[in-house]
Amino acid sequence: MTYLQKHDGVFVSEGASKTIADIDAIIFDCDGVLVDVSKSYDLAIMRTTKHMLKKLGNIDSIPVTPDMIGGFKNTGGFNDEVDVTYALILSFAAADKLGVDPHRFVAEVISNADKSGIPSVERFLDSKNADIERIKKALDYPGPHATNPLYVSFDQIFYGPHLYQKLFGKKSEFAESGLIENDMVLLTKDLLDMLHKKFGGRMAIVTGRGRESLYYSLENMLDGFDVKNSFFLEDEPRYLAKPNPEPLLRAVEGLGSEHCLYVGDSMEDLLMAEKVAELGKKVTFCGIYGTNKNPREKREFFESKGAPLILESICHIPKALNLV
């Protein structure tokens, strides 16, 4: 696919350049798009993995790297950060049992993972005959969000004691501030106002986060979106998780859009948009690459997958859509 570089950080496929003017609505993912989570959610994955390995198996894990996190997410089956954490815990535990180099083993697990997510990881580890059943049983993942031990530890580390108490009505075992405090909000009031001039009320969000979590970070800017036609998937049944197209499809229909732009940063986001298009709704996917540890690699990844629109940041949306 051929891309035109319209401006710095703006890459548009030839096909998309002919239809951009038709876009009448915009829907955003949150993490990696509206919010840079490299020091919040990503760090929560790292800390929870280390905590659970020590707690359940007395295993001293090597540090989780952004490449490991990104590797699982690029398979298309790990949009949920706790899914990534679970896969890492099992991979490190298996490497420990097998007595192999954990760096190389995690890379091997990732190369054998696919868009089915956790089942693909568990199948591969079963094929290696790694004795990790005790840890799998202790984690009992996924299980109910409010009571599952892995979810509980992850949420306590991410939200911190005060917000965790508010959300779940229970006391956290950790006293440290929640990593959600490290969220770096990329959305600005100026950008929100500019998009409102183009789209009016046809602006929504479809994200893996819960509504309260997103409101905590975006504060009043969340009111700039059609919340009624948005989906906060942490609050929804697990079967609706990305890349299930149903939430995005319902959001597009709720906005009354004829041609919607969906802005995301992951393979799951791209798959979801493509599935909605296959169902007969005109949706153009826009991939954000600048929040990745290796932006150039992420841009090339989106190019290899044929993403119609690829931007370094949401701040480039006005230029990409010819609003300025």
Q: Which amino acid is at 266?
A: S
- Of 14, 109, 62, which is closest to residue 309 (Cα–Cα)? 14
Cis peptide before 243 (omega within 30 of 0): yes
Rounded distance between C-alpha atoms, residue 161 and residue 246, angstroms: 34
Rounded distance between C-alpha atoms, residue 297 and residue 256, angstroms: 35
Please report, for residues 74, 126, 248, 315, the alpha-carbon distance to residue 34 in angstroms, rounded to integers and kept in the order given. Answer: 19, 38, 17, 10
Q: Which domains does the chain have, with CATH numbers?
A: 3-37+183-320 (3.40.50.1000), 41-181 (no CATH)
Buried b (16+ CB within 10 A) or exposed e, 21-34: eebbbbbbbbbbbb
Rounded distance between C-alpha atoms, residue 106 and residue 201, angstroms: 44
Residue 311's DSSP bridge partners are: 10, 288
How would DSSP label each residue in 256-299? T-SSEEEEESSHHHHHHHHHHHHTT--EEEEEE-TTSSSHHHHH
Give the number of other Cβ atoms within 10 Å of residue 47's Cβ: 19
Chain segment 148-205, per-residue pLDDT in tens: 999 999 999 999 999 999 999 999 999 999 999 999 999 999 999 999 999 999 999 9
Look up the pTM and report it.
Answer: 0.92
Chain segment 235-283, per-residue pLDDT in tens: 999 999 999 999 999 999 999 999 999 999 999 999 999 999 999 999 9
Give yes or no for a contact between 261 and 309, defined as CB atoms under 8 angstroms apart: yes
